[in-house]
Amino acid sequence: MSQPLHDNAVGVRRLGFGVSGPHGTPLVRPEATVAMIMNAFAMGVRVFDTAPAYGAGEAERRLGEALARLPTYEPIVSTKVGLKSSGLMKRTHEFEPENVRRSIEGSLRRLRRSRVDWLFLHGPPTSALTDALLKTLVDLKFKGDIGEIGICSRDHALDAALATGQFTLFMAPVHIGLPPNHLARLERLKAAGELIAIETLAPAKRRFPAPVSAGATWQLARSLLGRAGPVPPTPMTVEEALNWALHKGGANRVITTTTRLDHLEFNVYAVTSPSTGRLITA
């Protein structure tokens, strides 16, 4: 049984939970990650996004533990291929067909699933989008190992993927700080499939947060190592940032992550509150 690409998501179903960042590290206990996933599901979240690059498979293992306790067909399970990480700074690309197949096999084992609903290429260079890779992805879809094919990127690889006609999911930064050419690209992506926003809360974050939680500690480490990305010049509250991405930014969904239950609760509130009622219409 497959998940539809567009499920007419409204309200909290436009919010996905990212099992990423500190959720793949010892900063967060595995049982705490599982509890956050279970809480998110109880609040109505149905999309759960992860990747083997997050903690060398640890984030996927934690999501798999939670999924084993949830109804089989309700969650939309999203993971990625092509990026191998052994720490905050050491990353390599592996988009060769044999590596992609091997990556999917490992993800399915860790996730305890027979298929992945959404599969994203994880930050590929444009040169990685070869005919051989595209054929491999189509073969995996035909076999039933994956549902929809997507790409997660910040650059011209999004345009290259769009030109192939094989991608229906586009995961990209969506926030007020993007330059006009990036915003124009988002319009093209949404016209061709589903636009899934990441880095949405960038306008609401501090570059060097106080390490008062596991998530803040993770963000601080990334900032100190130069991996946090630019902070948009226009500051916003969390509610304003989510509203902008889903309304003006045109995102079909947003993926956010947190290690704190109160932050998760507020993110859910922010996309369902009467004060931002326009968010709950697709």
pLDDT in tens, 197-241: 999 998 876 554 555 566 666 464 555 445 556 666 678 899 999
Mean pLDDT of 243-252: 93
3-state secondary structure the chain: CCCCCCCCCCHHHHEEEECCHHHHCCCCCHHHHHHHHHHHHHCCCCEEECCCCCCCCHHHHHHHHHHCCCCCCCCEEEEEECEEECCCCCEEECCCHHHHHHHHHHHHHHHCCCCEEEEEEECCCHHHCCHHHHHHHHHHHHHCCEEEEEEECCCCHHHHHHHHCCCCEEEEECCCCCCHHHHHHHHHHHHHCEEEEECCCHHHCCCCCCCCCHHHHHHHHHHHCCCCCCCCCCCCCHHHHHHHHHCCCCCCEEEECCCCHHHHHHHHHHCCCHHHHHHHCC
CATH number of the CATH domain containing 244:
3.20.20.100
Residue 89 is predicted with a pLDDT of: 55
Tens of pLDDT, residues 177-187: 999 999 999 99
Q: Residue 61 domain-assigned?
A: yes
Boundaries of domain holding 268: 11-280
Q: Are 104 and 146 in contact (CB under 8 A)?
A: yes
Q: Residue 5 domain-assigned?
A: no
Tens of pLDDT, residues 221-233: 555 445 556 666 6
What letter represents residue 224's amino acid?
L
Q: Residue 201 domain-assigned?
A: yes
Q: Residue 250 domain-assigned?
A: yes
* pTM to 2 decimal places: 0.87
Residue 235 is predicted with a pLDDT of: 80
Q: Are 266 and 41 in contact (CB under 8 A)?
A: no
Residues of the chain with pLDDT > 70: what percent? 81
Q: What are the structure tokens assigned to 90, written together?
A: 């050491």
Q: How many domains does the chain have?
A: 1
Q: Residue 3 domain-assigned?
A: no
Q: Residue 168 domain-assigned?
A: yes
CA dist., res. 108 & res. 245, Å (int): 31
Q: Residue 92 domain-assigned?
A: yes
Residue 213 is predicted with a pLDDT of: 66
The set of residues, in sequence order, having a beta carbon less than 8 Å from that of 66 and lying 6+ positions away, is 33, 34, 37, 38, 41, 48
Q: Residue 1 domain-assigned?
A: no
